[in-house]
Each structure stands twice: as structure tokens, then as C-alpha cells.
Amino acid sequence: MSERVAVDLKVNGTTHRVSVPAMRTLMAVLRDDLGLTGTKNACDQGVCGSCTVLIDGAPARACLALAVALPGIAITTVEGLAQGDTLSPVQQAFLDAGAIQCGFCMPGMIIQATALLAENKRPSEDDIRHSISGNLCRCSGYTKVIEAISLAASRLTP
Ligand code: FES
Ligand code: FES
């Protein structure tokens, strides 16, 4: 049995002390230990972007990050974007634009879009396409996703 390491993970503003094997991924901890199943596991290989979370404000793949490497670092999952019952502007725009089909890729897309709009208030379509180029969607064809991110940008910066 592999040795366990105690680590304090700061997820969505709350610190959780977990005891994990050194090679346990952040995704496994989020989903299986903390019950934050909004972070999706589609490939488990760093390819699809469905597990994207914010680590210290930057988008990162939770399936490639080791939990023990992140003590005290702010981690934000899709569950952490809403304020109570009020969706974040990006979440709301995805709904309003009808961007969601099966929804499996959407948490990662929404996190990625949130990071984009934090850095670039008025992204061009090319900027948006480039930003989500690592987030794979099997359903949507991306058109509505791009519309949703543009809508969120226009609402955040009229
Ligand atoms: Fe992490 Fe696909 S599940 S990139
Ligand atoms: Fe189904 Fe993107 S909405 S994979």
C-alpha cells in the first residue's frame, strides 16, 4: 500500500485536509474524496480539457496535477463559480446561449472561459477559439460555445 501524505487543499475558498497517496491526482481528490463531481473525467490523460479547474487563477488540468503539490493554493472548480443560487456570468451566458448539449465538456469550457475573460475583457472570436482549443466537445460544434463566451464578455464589459 502506498504511503499517504496529508495535504491542505484550498478548494472554492474552503480548506480541506486530505490524506492521499503521493501520486493521487487533483481530479481524483476533487471527485472521489471531496464529492465535487462537476470536474469531469473524460480522458484522464490531459488531452480533452473536461477536468479543467483554476489553480491560482490559471486554467489547469486536474487529471495531470498531483494533489500533494498544491498545499494552500487556491483551487476553483465549476462548483465555486456561482454565488449561492446565482450563476456566474459565464455560467448564465452558456445557459442563455443554448450552448449546452450533453454537458460533459461544459464545466471545463466554463472554467476556461472564466480564465479568458479575467485576462481579456473583449476577446475576439479568434481569441475565444484559441482559448478553448484544448477543450474538446463531441456534441456542440463549438458555435454556441463561442456565442456564449461572447455574450458573457459583452455583459461583463458592455
Ligand atoms: Fe483531464 Fe481529459 S480528463 S484532460
Ligand atoms: Fe457534449 Fe460538449 S456538450 S461533449
Q: Output the CA 42–ligand 2 centroid distance in Å.
A: 11
- Residues 48, 57 contacting (CB under 8 angstroms): no
Q: Rounded to an integer, what distance in angstroms lies between the CA atom of residue 57 and that of residue 131?
A: 15
Give the DSSP H or E segment for 11. strand 4-11
Query: Does residue 84 lie within any of the structural domains?
Result: no
Q: 10 with 67, same domain?
A: yes
Q: Rounded to an integer, what distance in angstroms lies between the CA atom of residue 25 and that of residue 27?
A: 5
Give the DSSP H or E segment for 4. strand 4-11
Q: 66 with 118, same domain?
A: no
Q: Which residue, 79, 103, 132, sits at the end of a domain?
A: 79
Q: Output the CA 157–ligand 1 centroid distance in Å.
A: 31
Res 67: pLDDT: 98
Beta carbon of 49 within 6 Å of any ligand 1 atom: yes
* pLDDT tens digit at each of 158 positions of the chain: 579 999 999 999 999 999 999 999 999 999 999 999 999 999 999 999 999 999 999 999 999 999 999 999 999 999 999 999 999 999 999 999 999 999 999 999 999 999 999 999 999 999 999 999 999 999 988 999 999 999 999 999 98
Q: Residue 141 belongs to a domain with what CATH number?
A: 1.10.150.120
Res 1: pLDDT: 59
